[in-house]
Structure 1
């Protein structure tokens, strides 16, 4: 099995995997900064790259029951969060097809303008 092709984001404000520094998301894809992950604060994100999506499962989260799948860096395998596949409650439907990315698992990369 060969090395996987990585996607590099053209933005200068990106977040990368804290383990291998592979690009994961652009700052502009962050929908909300007010979420909670397994290891503390997290972002709700609309688009990620260089991730592998795991097996879907039902999980009871702070906001109710959701169908989710863990996401991992496709380069090094570090688990960085999860993808919302289905929300049972109508008020939580906006999360479907979005991702939770844990702040503890990512790093700011390249040059960030103030």
Structure 2
């Protein structure tokens, strides 16, 4: 379950204790729960990407129409709240009907994330 730091305004506010997460490779802020993963078969700007249902601890940049491998999409880059690094983008709108399933989803770039399985090691 998420805990919210009510004093946080422009810094990391969501923490997920003991749940597998993806975190920012630069500052370790939690960016998404692994449960939110839809597909690992996507491409980002810098290599492979993950399509996610949701993301936390990010802020969105400006919307823009961007030509991607599957056509023109209206997207907004997403940035880590912890350090400001770009970690992917949010799909606002897809022009092609076959790509509509991406709308409202996040593309997070694998190279900008660290996978944390939240494993506990005994003594």
TM score, norm. by length of structure 1 = 0.92
What's the counterpart of residue 38 of structure 1? Answer: 45
Aligned pairs, how many?
112
**Distance in 1 separating the partners of 2:88 and 2:42:** 11
RMSD between aligned residues:
1.6
Alignment of 1:5-84 (within 5 A): 5-84=12-91
Which one has more relative contact order, counting CA pairs under 8 Å at least 6 apart?
Answer: 1
Residues 11 and 26, structure 1, Cα contact 8 Å, conserved in 2: no
1:11-58 Cα distance to aligned partner (Å, 9 max, x none): 521110000000011111000010000010000000100001000000
The CA deviation at 1:5 is: 4.8
Which of the pair has more CA radius of gyration? 2
- Out of 98, 109, 117, the position equivalent to 1:102 is 109
DSSP-derived class of the 1:69 partner: strand
**Distance in 2 separating the partners of 1:112 and 1:92:** 36
TM score, norm. by length of structure 2 = 0.85
Flag structure 1 segments of 5+ consecutive residues without an equivalent.
none
DSSP-derived class of the 1:92 partner: helix
